[in-house]
């Protein structure tokens, strides 16, 4: 337990002075290096409509300095609203935008929280616009992209190569915002000033570059669609820019741009066709690329990768095995995975990190489908088998209560999530699952054709249950309840009679809490497969003489100990 005094924190040792002062503990304190969880009232009171971030980045001393304007609409009355900003960064002033004569507003900081006192009570539907001047030395990313911040790296030639990554810790590690995944601005302006000859690649569309005449240039970008704060990203280097006009399945064209280091120009040129090939496959599989109004961008980064909207971070270094423990599956899995997030994460976004498996599980399943479509079903199964050991089952993958990004993160949101889709495919068939994936991405044909931002929406596990239920005509609540709301996996218990001749085999599902789990079980008996009805959670099968039964020989059903033929 941590008691917090004056924004810092001290460990509470029983009987110590810090503990005795417990009543002074600041319950508003917030860990700067986490994101999400329950929304506090000072943030629930408003809905962000617009951010304008103007920031100077100085690689010489690893500092940033800038101004953030936030426009919002009040949804509840409030005299105090809260933003977030890492304690490493100083707040110079906070004021009501466009009221320059007005006195700066009072504010109080507690961990990452910045509580701003308004001069009067804002009413529901009122507009709120705050301007924050801030700066300092932002957190240096200890282990990007997982433990993020700002990375001040160098290119092979020794030039600055700067990247941000902050999904788990929140974008407030480098700019002030309402650090909660449930609130995206409708649009955003990003204006970044850097020394010549550095180039800034970020989200949205580049509108102009201004030479400031002082050895710096300002890159002016505009994001026309709603964007998660954590997706806002700086990518700064003396980049070369590779650009293609791409024709979407909708017939619209938009730019596909790859910012590559000069040292990797040849690799970048050689990689461009694969970028386009992945994009085409995703459009065919899930529906149109969602951010056609802006672009699809890829920026070469000094960290492995991140799904930054319309400017994904690519740090695989043209190594197909960079994301898959060195194993080359015949395609750039990292690029494929990050691109998948333009649908799973950026088009549809969890409103609370408790449902992050929709980003990562759906995203991971896409690599298996790609393998099936390009190399055959056997490769699909090999890929699914390769990720099966990477589940911990220590906590429910998608619980009903709110979780922060740090709390939910782990292998299960990727691989248990992907395996739930894999098992659904066994139960419902390939066509139904692919149809459900398309409907999860775009619930209507109209949404697929939209580019004004209204195509973007929030989803939860409930949406997945409903969509798969609608497509299949089955009530699938039991499956999600057992797989995602419980930590432990269902186990299949098998008893088989001994002796010569035909034998009776009995199968029984054992599920945490005794939950219903009517998952039918395929058993191979020589050259045929029998499917054991498990409606009541158990079933029996007659095994002919001389036949060795193999349970789930194709490895479809996610269960406690995996592998064909495992009995018990
Ligand atoms: Zn991912």
221/81 same-domain check: yes
Q: What is the mean pLDDT of residues 116-129?
A: 96
Give a yes or no: residue 353 inside a domain. Answer: yes
Cα 344 to ligand 1 centroid, rounded to whole Å: 9
132/214 same-domain check: yes
Q: What is the mean pLDDT of residues 479-504?
A: 94
92/206 same-domain check: yes
Cα 410 to ligand 1 centroid, rounded to whole Å: 11
Domain final position from 269, 290, 314: 314
CA dist., res. 419 & res. 414, Å (int): 9
Region label for 553, one of left (φ > 0), alpha (ψ between -120 and 50) or beta (otherwise): alpha
Q: What is the CATH number of the domain that holds 451?
A: 1.10.390.10
Cα 372 to ligand 1 centroid, rounded to whole Å: 20
458/357 same-domain check: yes
Give a yes or no: residue 414 inside a domain. Answer: yes
Strand partners, 525: 528
pLDDT of 6 reads 37
CA dist., res. 290 & res. 6, Å (int): 44
Q: Which domain holds residue 89?
A: 36-236
534/413 same-domain check: no
Q: What is the CATH number of the domain that holds 283?
A: 3.30.2010.30
Strand partners, 164: 150
70/195 same-domain check: yes
ipTM score: 0.96
Cβ proximity of 239 and 260 under 8 Å? yes
Helix (H, G, I), strand (E, B) or coil at 253: strand
Cα 358 to ligand 1 centroid, rounded to whole Å: 10
Mean pLDDT of the chain: 94
Cα 306 to ligand 1 centroid, rounded to whole Å: 7
Percent over 90 (pLDDT), the chain? 92
Cα 345 to ligand 1 centroid, rounded to whole Å: 9
Cα 413 to ligand 1 centroid, rounded to whole Å: 9
For the stretch 245-261, pLDDT in tens is 999 999 999 999 999 99
In this prediction, residue 101 has a pLDDT band, given cuts at 50, 70 and 90, of: low
Give a yes or no: residue 208 inside a domain. Answer: yes
Domain final position from 465, 484, 503: 484
CA dist., res. 549 & res. 528, Å (int): 10
Cα 368 to ligand 1 centroid, rounded to whole Å: 14
Axis-axis angle for helices 430-441, 461-472 (nearest 10): 130
CA-CA distances (angstroms) from residue 131 to 71, 119, 124, 404? 9, 15, 20, 27
Give a yes or no: residue 211 inside a domain. Answer: yes
In this structure, which residues have their CB less than 5 angstroms from ion ligand 1? 360, 363
227/287 same-domain check: no
81/175 same-domain check: yes
Helix (H, G, I), strand (E, B) or coil at 33: coil
Name the residue with tokens 């789990």. Answer: 517
For the stretch 372-402, pLDDT in tens is 999 999 999 999 999 999 999 999 999 999 9
Give a yes or no: residue 556 inside a domain. Answer: no
Give a yes or no: residue 48 inside a domain. Answer: yes
Cα 304 to ligand 1 centroid, rounded to whole Å: 11
Give a yes or no: residue 448 inside a domain. Answer: yes
Domain final position from 298, 314, 330: 314
pLDDT of 239 reads 98
Cα 363 to ligand 1 centroid, rounded to whole Å: 6
Q: What is the mean pLDDT of residues 155-179?
A: 98
Cα 353 to ligand 1 centroid, rounded to whole Å: 13
Cα 217 to ligand 1 centroid, rounded to whole Å: 33
Percent over 70 (pLDDT), the chain? 94
Residue 512 in this model has a pLDDT that exceeds 50: yes
17/111 same-domain check: no
68/199 same-domain check: yes
Axis-axis angle for helices 357-375, 461-472 (nearest 10): 40
**Domains held by the chain: number:** 5
131/103 same-domain check: yes
CA dist., res. 288 & res. 279, Å (int): 9
Cα 495 to ligand 1 centroid, rounded to whole Å: 40
276/179 same-domain check: no
Cα 232 to ligand 1 centroid, rounded to whole Å: 16
Cα 342 to ligand 1 centroid, rounded to whole Å: 10
Q: What is the CATH number of the domain that holds 54?
A: 2.60.40.1730
Cβ proximity of 279 and 295 under 8 Å? no
Cβ proximity of 478 and 490 under 8 Å? no
Cα 369 to ligand 1 centroid, rounded to whole Å: 16
Cα 401 to ligand 1 centroid, rounded to whole Å: 22
Give a yes or no: residue 332 inside a domain. Answer: no
In this prediction, residue 26 has a pLDDT band, given cuts at 50, 70 and 90, of: confident
For the stretch 348-373, pLDDT in tens is 999 999 999 999 999 999 999 999 99
Cα 64 to ligand 1 centroid, rounded to whole Å: 28
């Amino acid at each position: 337990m941590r008691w917090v005094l004056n924004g810092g924190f001290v460990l509470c040792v029983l009987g110590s002075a810090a503990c005795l002062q417990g009543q002074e503990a600041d319950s508003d304190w917030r860990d700067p290096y986490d994101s999400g969880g329950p929304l506090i009232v000072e943030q629930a009171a408003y809905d962000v409509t617009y951010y304008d971030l103007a920031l100077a980045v100085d690689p010489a001393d690893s500092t940033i300095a800038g101004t953030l304007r936030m426009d919002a609409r009040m949804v509840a009355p409030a005299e105090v609203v809260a933003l977030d900003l890492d304690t490493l960064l100083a707040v110079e002033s906070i004021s009501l935008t466009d009221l320059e004569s007005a006195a700066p507003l009072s504010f109080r900081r507690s961990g990452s929280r910045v509580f701003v006192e308004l001069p009067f009570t804002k009413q529901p539907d009122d507009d709120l616009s705050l301007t924050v001047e801030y700066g300092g030395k932002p957190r240096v990313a200890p282990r990007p992209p997982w433990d993020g911040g700002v990375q001040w790296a160098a290119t092979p030639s020794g030039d600055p190569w700067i990247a941000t990554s902050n999904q788990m810790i929140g974008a407030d590690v480098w700019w002030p915002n309402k650090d909660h995944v449930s609130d995206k601005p409708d649009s955003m302006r990003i204006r970044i000033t850097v020394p010549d000859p550095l180039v800034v690649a970020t989200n949205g569309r580049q509108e102009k570059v201004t030479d400031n005449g002082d050895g710096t240039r300002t890159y002016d970008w505009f994001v026309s669609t709603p964007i998660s704060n954590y997706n806002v990203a700086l990518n700064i280097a003396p980049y070369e820019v590779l650009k293609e006009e791409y024709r979407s399945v909708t017939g619209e064209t938009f730019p596909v741009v790859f910012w590559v280091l000069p040292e990797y120009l040849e690799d970048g040129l050689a990689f461009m066709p694969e970028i386009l090939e992945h994009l085409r496959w995703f459009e065919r599989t899930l529906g149109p690329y969602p951010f056609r109004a802006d672009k699809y961008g890829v920026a070469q980064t000094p960290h492995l990768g991140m799904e930054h909207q319309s400017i994904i971070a690519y740090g695989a270094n043209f190594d197909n095995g960079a994301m898959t423990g060195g194993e080359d599956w015949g395609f750039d899995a990292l690029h494929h995975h990050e691109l998948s997030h333009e649908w799973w994460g950026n088009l549809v976004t969890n409103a609370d990190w408790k449902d992050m498996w929709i980003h990562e599980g759906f995203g991971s399943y896409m690599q298996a489908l790609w393998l099936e479509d390009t190399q055959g079903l056997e490769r699909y199964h090999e890929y699914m088998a390769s990720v099966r050991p990477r589940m911990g089952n220590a906590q429910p993958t998608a619980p009903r209560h709110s979780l922060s990004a740090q709390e939910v993160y782990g292998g299960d949101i990727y691989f248990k999530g992907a395996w739930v889709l894999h098992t659904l495919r066994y139960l419902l068939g390939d066509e139904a699952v692919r149809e459900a994936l398309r409907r999860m991405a775009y619930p209507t044909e109209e949404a697929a054709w939209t580019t004004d931002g209204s195509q973007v929406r929030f989803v939860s596990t409930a949406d997945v249950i409903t969509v798969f239920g609608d497509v299949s005509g089955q009530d699938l609540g039991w499956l999600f309840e057992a797989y995602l709301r419980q930590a432990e996996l269902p186990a299949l218990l098998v008893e088989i009679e001994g002796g010569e001749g035909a034998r009776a085999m009995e199968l029984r599902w054992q599920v945490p809490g005794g939950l219903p789990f009517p998952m039918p079980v395929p058993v191979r008996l020589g050259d045929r497969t029998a499917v054991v009805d498990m409606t009541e959670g158990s079933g029996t099968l007659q095994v002919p003489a001389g036949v060795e039964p193999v349970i789930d020989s194709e490895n479809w059903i996610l269960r406690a100990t995996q592998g064909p033929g495992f009995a018990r």
